[in-house]
Structures are given as structure tokens and as C-alpha cells.
Structure 1
Amino acid sequence: MECPELNLETEEPESNSFDAKRTNTDISYEIESNKRLQVEEESLRNEDKTKSRKPKRKVACFIGYCGTGYHGMQVNNPNRTIEGDLFKAFVNTGAIAEMNSDDPKKSSLNRAARTDKGVHAACNVLSLKLIIDQPNLLERINAALPETIRVWGVSRTLGSFNPRTFCEERIYEYLVPSYVFIPPYPMTHLAQRITKHREIINSKENDDWINGHEYLLYCKDTKSIWSDEKIQQLKKMINTPSISAKNVNEEDEETSNVSSKPHELLEKEKIKQIEQEIRRKYRISSERLQLIRDAFKIFEGSHNFHNFTVGKTFNDKSAYRLIKSFTISEPKLIQNMEWISIKIHGQSFMLHQIRKMIALIILVVRCGTPLSFIPKTFKSTRFNIPKAPGFGLLLERPIFTGYNKRAERMKREILDPSLYEEEIQTFKETYIYHKIFSEESKENLFRSFLNYIDLSTTNDFDYLTLPMEQLTEQLGKNNHILHDEMEYNEIRKKESKNLLAQRNTSGGIREKEKKQRTSTKFYLNNPYIIQWPKISKEDQEIILSGILNIFSFFPNQRKKNKILGKKRNLKDNKDTDYIDRDKEYIGECVDDNISSSQTDKREFTTKYMTLGINETTKLLEMYSKIGIPSSAPSYLRFFDKIDENHLSLLKNNKLANILKIVVICKEDIQHSILYSYFPTLCGVVNEVLSKIEAPDDNSQSGIRLVTLPKGSEQQLSEAAGLKRLAAIGIMKNTPHAEKIIDFIFKKVPPPQIPWLKHPTMFHPTSIIET
């Protein structure tokens, strides 16, 4: 029996094609599944890492460093910086995780003070987030750092801590050899210009330039220091072989082969050696040292230091800085050279400010310039002031007074550099002072700085040798260095407009009209412009310190108290007469209806102060309503009649604690709409109170409106324990405020509202009348 043949040919192609399609989908499916597995594995690994990751803490690091060989403090890739080496050490010791090691911003790195290239710091403060739960972390960090950089300590801080904003004061030190204050060598260009210009100075108008103590001391020291006898003695010393070889090696290695040089070059080398020997052997007199102290004293206080930095103009408000003190030490003899330490205590400093201040005093003292010239640098005239060498400057320490008070209240660590005083002092003497002294003895950097000034043939430093009036005539009116910055800017604008007009002479009428357009606000002649009372910067600082002193006597409060149920009265009792509500805002004018228990519960600021713009505004508005009769329409003037109910309320209480001072942090508020109405409102209240106050109170009648300098809002907020505090109202009988109130009434004029002085020029109108 034969088996039937199987038709395999028709079945095989169908099965093969089906298997091929299935294989392609399987492959793509396997690839996708593998990708999913890889993603899941990576996520699992990341979860393991996060589980094993240690927590980061916000800390403050106290550091000290020698800035020689570094391009400043702040990270500046690819240059070598102090923060760059510190960040690497934190990463290598595990204080910063690997995932955050590529960018310091991930660790919230900040610093209290930035230092320039070559500037040192005995104690600076960094803040960043570190993993501090490690044994011997401080020792391991210092082991990973070079010897010229040390970390003194690591302290936990509040999460909001930023060393730059919380640092209230900084102390710097500048070391300078005493010979920089001696007069220039008589053969230099600067010394010859001093002699020449003194001959043309008008002695009647500028007697201090001719017969002043500074110039007389200059002439006296020039004769004694640069006398012919001393120069001849030093020539003999230099001509001896042993001393000559020694001095030549100290000055320059290239001058060791003296015999091969021409005769003229050899004489120049000898003159340099003579000058340097005179400088090294110089010992400053007590008279000149006192002159230096008097000169630095002029910098103390708040001034416009736009001439002592770069990129700032006279109109730039940030150019104002507060210098608290300059301390000049007694001279010390180190390595056969006399040195002087200058300590600068200030609130904050701009770029190159300290080095330019030091340089100006050096130039003024050594040139015999009157000290009366120094305050002129605070005005709009621009001067070319050089920078003193940076290697003599070091940051002593930053100060965090406000933050430490806040930390103590919250029972946290305070930032106190004195805990590391011994280590800091040892480091300063070993790595900073020694570096400064040795670098000056080898490189003569201060001598190079003085040579640049003495040998300059330009007129950039003629302000040291001529009074301003004759200097202007000497150089001409087109010299922008000597003229008001605003005038100079106007001249430049006119020149640029003329250039544009020449380029676009073929333009149409429309383009010419665009050029001629001006803003109308400059041409409005309004005689009733409202202005803020003018207060000097010095008086503002005194007022600020006085207000902070008031807060120091009383505990801080963080919650606004309801003033005798203020919100309840305003919301629930809307029909209540406004006279009853005014009792809540008239300060200490306590009515019989108010119980003693309610009065005792009110805190200090509720009794004697209003905190914030809203509270202060409401109190001023209630005072202004005193002048409006209850039956009068709202649009009528309120100075003709006084509401008897309010008047009796005030007189019965004998004006026990009426509002006297309104303080506004105007510079710290961004939008003018938040404070522009205060002059008008205070002027209205001032008119009302002047009509009802007793005649014996004329010395302190009305109220005063005070503006505080920039940065005051933060200080007041910290003193009051509030997040923000931009306005304060101070009552008459506020404890510990008598002196500051008297000072304000003497220094601050009352708010002037011109349209209130001419009431007959105005009359009420309405829509019906028109």
C-alpha cells in the first residue's frame, strides 16, 4: 500500500514567512525590554545612593589664607583661587558629594568678603552646605589644603544665613613701611613740580598751601632726609666693595656684574642704592605720625567714595560707605625696616577702595598737600587716585553682631572668631606678616609704586601740588578730570548729538523732530512740588543708631497685637462713631472705659510705637480726621474748624503720648507708591497738631518725617524681630527716646506742603457746579 505524498512545498513558505515576521517583533520587544531593565537598574542604584547619602548642613567656615600666588578669593576658572582650592579639599574629604563636585553653586557657596589678587585674610567666613557627620573632618580638610590656607573651624548656622548680607562690619589691616611717607627725591619730576607750583600759588587766597603745617613739615623733612651730607656719606659706603656687592645682590641680580656696565648706568645704580639706603634707615617722627593720623581721621563717617573705586559715578547711591575708625599703630622695626600697621573698621568696602584711600594719604602727606584737600574727593570732581600695592592688605575679621543676637535668641551657635585667636595670630606672623616683610625686602614693591608716581611726567597728580582754582586755569576748562561730572556728561551728550546730526544731515523732517523731542516733565513749573525733608547722611546714621538703641531695651515681638480689638471694631461695629475708633490710635491717651488689665497686656511697641507702613498710615489718617467736623462734607478744608470732641479728648489727656516722629526706610522700598504719600500726610497732620498743641510746646510742635539710609530696613527688622519693617511711628513719651526726639527736632525741618500755605487760592467744586 503506497503512502500519499505530502505537499510540503506549499506549507513551508507560509511557515517560514510567519516565523520571519515573528522574529522581528520578538527582537524589537527584547530591545525595548532590555532598555526598561537598564532604566530600572539605574533607578535602583540611584535609590541605593540616596538611601546611603548623608545629610548636608548649612555651615560657616572660618578660614585664613595668604593670597600670594592666587588670583583673588572668588572662584574664577581657569585661574587658581582660594575658593577653588578649598572646594577641592571639601570634595576630596567627602564633605561635598561627588554629584555636587562639578559646581560650587550646588553647595550654595558664599563668602563674607571678596579679596583681590594678592590680598590676604587672617579670618574670613564662607557659608555652604557640607556633610559634617564625619570623624576628624576639620583635620582631614586642613591636611588636604596647602599650608598657606587654613580652616579654623566649622559652625552650624541658620538655614537663611548668608555671610555677605549678615556681615555688618569688616576690619582690614594694611602694613606699610614708614619710608613711603618721606618727601620725594629732589631730582624727581614730582619734587620739581611741587617747587615750581608753590612759586605761582597765590599766598593770600591759599595760605594753607604756602604756610600750612603740612608744607612746612615737607620742607623740613626734605632738607634733613635728602641733605648733601647724607648723600655723600652713602656714596662712600656704596663705593666700598663689601657693601656694594651686598646692596647690588639685594637690588637686582642683573647688576652683579657692575664692572661690565657703562659709567652712566653704574652711576644710576649707585643713585638707586643711595635712595634705597636712605629709605631703609628712615625712622618716622612723632610729628609726621600725628599728621598721618589726622589725615586718616577725615575718612571716618559716611562719605561718597566714588573716587576710590571703579565703575561708580557721583550720583550712584551705592558709592556711599560708612567708615567707623582708622587706627594707626606705633612704628615697629622689622628686618632693619620700620613698619606701620593701619587698621580700617568699616561697614562695607568697594573694589580697590582701601588701597586707593591708603594711596591718597601717602601722596598727600609726602607732598605737603593741605589736609583740607581730602574732603574734596567726596564731591563730584573726579581725581586720578592710584592703588597702593595689594600685598600689604589683609582682612582681619568680619563681624556678625545682628546674626549673633538672633542666634542666641534661637539657642544656636554664634559666629565668634575670637575662639581661634591663638591659631590666627600664629598663622598671621608665620605666613602673612613674614611674607609681606620678605617680599618688600626682596622686590621693593613700595619703592616701585613711589617711583611710578615720582617719575610720571603727566599732569594726573597735579591736584597734589596746586589748589583747585589754579589747577583749573593751568589745565584748561576742557579737562574733564577737574570738572563736575554732570557738566562733563552734558558736554559729552552735546558732542554726541552734534556727531549724529552731521551723520544724518540727509534725514527727513520726521527724524529731525524725533531728535528735538524732549520730555515735558522737565518744563513743568509747578510751585507746589512736595519734597521730603533734607537730612544729611551723618544725621541719618545717628538717628538710626538711636532708634536701634530704643529697641535694645525691650524684648522683640514677632506677632502684631490687636490694638484694643482694632479689627473687631472695624469689621463688626461699622456704624460706630469714628471718634470711638480714634481712641485706639491716639497712643497713650487712655480713656476711662479702657480697663487697666487691657492696658497692661499691651506690649511696648503697641503703647509707644507703630510698626509697619499700614499701622503708621492709619494712625496718621486718624490724626488728620481730628480737623474734620463730623457734620462737614469730606471735600471741605479741615483747618477752619476743629472738631470739639477730638479736641477735648486730646486736651483732657494733656497730649500724654502723641505721635512725634515718623521714620521711613525710603531707600529700601522698591515702589514709590508705597511711600510717596507720607510727606503730604505728615504735612496735613503737622498743620492739625500745630493748631491744638499747647503754646509751651513750640520747640517740639507738630511731627517730623525722617528718612533712613539704605540698608536700614534690615537692621530695624532684626531689632524688632520682624521679617520686614519699613516704617515706624514714635510717640512723645517713648522710653529712652527723649534724646533722639530732641535731636530730630533740631536737625530735621518740618514737612512742607506749599499748597497748605495758600488756602484762599482754592475753593471746593463739584460735578454739579461745573
Structure 2
Amino acid sequence: MLLGYQGKKYYGMQLQKDLPTIESKLLEAMEKAGWITAAQREKPFDFFFQRAARTDRAVSAARQMCGMQLPRDDEKYKVDGPGILNNLLPNDIRVFGMKRTINFFHPQKQCDYRTYSYTCPTFVFAKPTELTNAAFRISKETLAEVNDILSIYKGTHNFFNYTAKRAYDDMSSNRYIVSFECKEPFLFRDEFRKEDVEFIQIVVKGQSFVLHQIRKMVGMVITVVRELHLKSAIQRSFEGQRMDIPMAPGLGLLLERTHYDSYDKKHSKDHEPLTDWGEIIEKEVERTKFELITKDMLETELLSQGMLKWLADLVHHDFSSNPEAEEPEKKTFVTMAAACANKALKEQEATSSEAPEASEGAPEGAPEVACAPEAAAPELAAAPEKPQIEEEEKVAAAGSS
């Protein structure tokens, strides 16, 4: 089953108890259509339901793939299936097509690669000497710099710093990235402010990704381009030292495509391909992607100014803090101003409390008088006794001789 969805209203793809997710809506529609039972809806593994990728909260997908075992009626599902489900699904979840696969097909394990995109305003890459606003236009030099930094992530690396609750020596932290690049910028009209804003799309293709990995990679690249951290920090982030990497907002993240090249090649004679769904469906996917996901994504960003707010906090990000802390300290302009005020108040109180002690008992304007400490008095009294002791020692020595 090929489907797409706008994820901003949902708590991710995977089924969660008492929370709206993509799977909960999909399973509900399948039950209403009579495809599954109520028991199977509660336990989807009973009919071998699986998804290719577990998208996070508010993350959308243009081509998500799901697999399941249904009563054999290929034409019913292939021809009428998408229409039946779309009539029962919310408008922000669309089924594009269904195909018969091999028995026990697993969309996650048999997926070779996954392609994601991250769309954001180009002003996120503004230099310290440039204004971060809607009038910003990215230069060819900066675009080349961004692509150069993105290329550092290509290949196999340890991404334990780009996720949560994974150690450096955990082999599952190693992930392989095939490509990572920026596309050409484009303009989108902000109808509220009556101005054109430049956006850019970052596309990454990898074997698989750990939780939050893509958003943290994007956050790190933005940090380096804005000269808030060194380029060499990216290479250090793959090493054993723990680093708290900033995570970019989730709004711009989109699952573009799941790749089944090996499956398509192996079963090309007896099953339809899963990577390419044909011209008609692909056109529908692209149309729905823009109308349902991309357009809404851009409008929401312009309305909420979420990226600008994130950038305002980014300058205070502490890379050395513990990302595993349950409630990490949130640094904002307000909290930092309050901290500075408290520090100044304490210093003022300390100064005022020390001043009276220094002048206590002395008349105003009187010169300071140094007083000898009490411990020095016995030493001064004992000093005259030294000659007497030496004389007694001489007499004793003469007597013994």
C-alpha cells in the first residue's frame, strides 16, 4: 500500500494508545471497510501489518509504504482499494495505490534506501554579517559551502550523538548515507506580509536513520554555516565524546520515497515494481504532495515563524550540555536576562555587606591602621629569652668538658 499524509496533526506514523497517529486512522478505515476485524485493528501484527519508516510526530510523508496480509482479492484492492479507503480516511491521509507482493513481504526490512527532504527558508544560512529576514537570498558561494558541509555526512558514521539513549559502542548507531545535498532555491509568496520568501530543499538518501538523526544533521549544518560552531565539530560528533547537537524543527521534514531496488530486480518477472508506481500514480503523488504537504508546510512556516524562533535560541545552545538529561535547561533571552540580573544583585549584596566590616569602629575619613594578629604576641615575648638559653647551653658544655 502506497500512501501519503500531512503529519502535523498526528503523533507519528506508528500506532500509539489513546493518541492520534497515521496508523490508527488507517486501521480504523480498514475496519470500517470490512477488511480487518476489531481484534486485528487493536493488534495489527496479527495480519502482519508493517510500515517502511516510522515518521516522528508532525513529520509528513509523500510515499510511505505499508505491507499487510489480506484475504486474496487482488483486483478488489488494486482497483477499488484506494478509493474505498480515501472515502473513509481524513483528507490529510491519502492512499495512492495497492499491489500484490510476495508472501511475507516486509516493507521495512526489504527497503534498500529511504529518501527524506527538509525544506526551510534560505535565511537559516545567513552569515553573521547578513540579515536573517525574508529579504535574504542565498548566494552561490554559500550554497556551495552548504553542499560541501553536507558531503561530510556521506558514507558510514556513528550517529550516537544524533539520537537519544544510544551509546557510542552500540552498533545500531552506525548508519550509511548515500547522498546529501541542497537543491536550487525557490520563491514562495507570503500573502500575509505581501513579500516573496526564498526557500530551499535539502535531500538526503540513506539506508536507514535513527530517531531525530536528520533534524539534528540539518541543525548542525545550519550552526556551522552561521559560524556558531567549527566545521571540524561535525567530524568530532562521530567520535566517542558526548555532544548535544541542536535539532531543527520538525515541520520541514518529509519522507519522499522508499526504495525497493533489490526487490524489484529479484521479482521483476512475477511481481510489479514497488519503487516506481507508474506515470498516473506518480503524477497524483506529486500533485497531492504539493497541495497537501508542501504548500501547507510553507504557509505554516511563514505564519508561525518557527524557524526564526528556533534560530533565536540557537545562539545560546550549549553543545557541552547533557542531551540525555530528562529536563535540560532551556536558555532563552528571558531566562538569560533573569540570570544576569540575579548575578548582579548577589554581587551588589556581597559588596554592601563587606563594606561596613572594613570600616567598623573607625571614624569617617580616618586612616587605616594595621593591627598585628594575636598569634604574633607570644613570638615577640619569647624573643628576648634566646640569648639566655644560649648562655646556659655554653655553661653546660663547659662543665661537661
- TM-score normalised per structure 1: 0.39
Alpha-carbon separation, structure 1, partners of 2:233 and 2:175: 19
* Distance (Å, rounded) in 2 between the aligned partners of 1:373 and 1:118: 29
State how 1:125-164 maps to structure 2 within 5 Å: 125-131=65-71, 133=73, 134=76, 136-164=80-108
Partner of 2:167: 313
Q: Is 1:303 aligned to 2:164, yes or no?
A: no
- In structure 1, how many angstroms separate the alpha carbons of the residues matched to 2:27 and 2:200? 35
Q: Distance in 1 between matches of 2:299 and 2:260?
A: 34
Query: Structure 1 residue 368: deviation in Å?
Result: 5.8
Does residue 353 (structure 1) correspond to residue 213 (structure 2)? The answer is yes
Output the aligned Cα RMSD. Answer: 1.7
- Superposed CA deviations along residues 383-411 of structure 1, whole A, max 9, x for unmatched, are 110211011000011111121222225x1
Q: Which AA in structure 2 matches 1:416?
A: T
Give the residue type in structure 1 aligned to 2:116: Y
What is residue 310 of structure 2 aligned with on the other side? 449
CA distance in 1, matches of 2:83, 2:262: 30
Secondary structure in 1 matching 2:234 = helix
Q: Deviations over 1:337-387 (max 9, x none)?
A: 110111101111000000000000000110264423321111111111021
1:118 and 2:118 correspond? no
Letter in 1 for 2:29: A
CA distance 1:425–1:459, shift in 2 (3 Å):
closer
Residue of structure 1 aligned with 2:136, choices 269, 282, 287? 282
Aligned to 1:412: 271
Pair 1:82-2:22 in alignment: yes
State the SS of the aligned residue for 1:390.
coil
Residue 91 of structure 1: aligned partner: 31
Do residues 389 (structure 1) and 333 (structure 2) align?
A: no
CA distance in 2, matches of 1:408, 1:386: 43
Match of 2:3 in 1: 63
Does the 8 Å contact 2:244/2:320 carry over to 1?
yes
1:63 to 1:435, Cα distance in 2 relative to 1, 3 A? same
Alpha-carbon contact 1:397-1:417 (below 8 Å) kept: no
Question: Residue type of the partner of 1:429?
Answer: F
Q: Give me the TM-score of the superposition, normalised by structure 2.
A: 0.74
Question: CA 1:128–1:373 in structure 2 vs 1: closer, same or farther (change >3 Å)?
Answer: same
| Partner Cα separation in structure 2 for residue 418 and residue 282 of structure 1 | 39
Instruction: For residue 298 of structure 1, give the secondary structure of its aligned residue in structure 2.
Output: helix
Identity of aligned residues (%): 36
1:369 to 1:407, Cα distance in 2 relative to 1, 3 A: same
SS of structure 2 residue aligned to 1:292: helix
Looking at structure 2, the residues matched to 328 and 374 of structure 1 have their Cα atoms a distance apart, in angstroms, of 18
Deviation track 1:588-628 (CA, whole Å, cap 9, x = no partner) reads: xxxxxxxxxxxxxxxxxxxxxxxxxxxxxxxxxxxxxxxxx
Secondary structure of 1:289's counterpart equals helix
Deviation at 1:132, TM superposition (A): 5.8
For 1:112 and 1:432, locate their aligned partners in 2 and report how far apart those are by CA, in whole Å.
19
2:255 partner SS: strand
**Offset of residue 418 of structure 1:** 4.0
* Separation in structure 1 between the aligned mates of residue 47 and residue 319 of structure 2, nearest angstrom: 50
Question: Equivalents in 1 of 2:37, 2:319: separation in Å?
Answer: 57
CA distance in 2 between partners of 1:315 and 1:326 (Å): 25
Q: In 1, distance between residues paired with 2:205 and 2:176?
A: 9
1:400 and 2:260 matched: yes
Indicate the residue corresponding to 1:324 in structure 2: 178
Once the two structures are TM-superposed, the CA of residue 435 in structure 1 deviates from its matched residue by 1.2
CA distance in 2, matches of 1:302, 1:459: 23
Structure-2 residue corresponding to 1:333? 187
Is 1:293–2:147 an aligned residue pair? Answer: yes
Distance 2:134 2:65 in 1: 37
Distance 1:414 1:281, change over 3 A: same
1:166 is matched with 110
1:528-551 per-position Cα deviation (integer Å, ceiling 9, x unaligned)? xxxxxxxxxxxxxxxxxxxxxxxx
How far apart are the structure 2 equivalents of 1:384 and 1:405? Answer: 42
SS of structure 1 residue aligned to 2:25: helix
Letter in 2 for 1:74: Q
- The answer to whether the Cα contact below 8 Å between 1:94 and 1:131 also exists between their aligned partners in 2 is no
Cross-structure match for 2:40 = 100
CA distance in 2, matches of 1:386, 1:62: 33
- With over 3 angstroms needed to count, the CA separation of the structure-2 counterparts of 1:92 and 1:295, relative to structure 1, is same
The AA in structure 1 aligned to 2:63 is C
User: Which residue identity is paired with 2:98?
Assistant: V
Question: Structure 1 residues 459, 93: closer, same or farther in 2, change over 3 A?
Answer: closer
- Unaligned 5+ runs, structure 2: 190-195, 322-401
Aligned partner of 2:282 in structure 1 is 421
Contact persistence 2:245–2:319 (CA under 8 A):
no
Greater per-residue strand proportion? 2
Give the unaligned 5+ runs of structure 1: 1-60, 184-217, 227-277, 462-770
- Counterpart of 2:223, as a letter, is L
Gap change, CA 1:142 and 1:370, over 3 Å in 2: same
Contact 1:307 1:378 in 2 (8 A): yes
Q: How far apart are residue 148 of structure 1 and its match?
A: 0.9
Is residue 116–residue 257 contact of structure 2 (8 Å, CA) maintained in 1? yes
* In structure 2, C-alpha distance between the alignment counterparts of 1:425 and 1:413, rounded to whole Å: 21
Aligned amino acid, residue 167 of structure 1: C
**1:158 alignment partner AA:** I
- SS, match of residue 435 in structure 1: helix
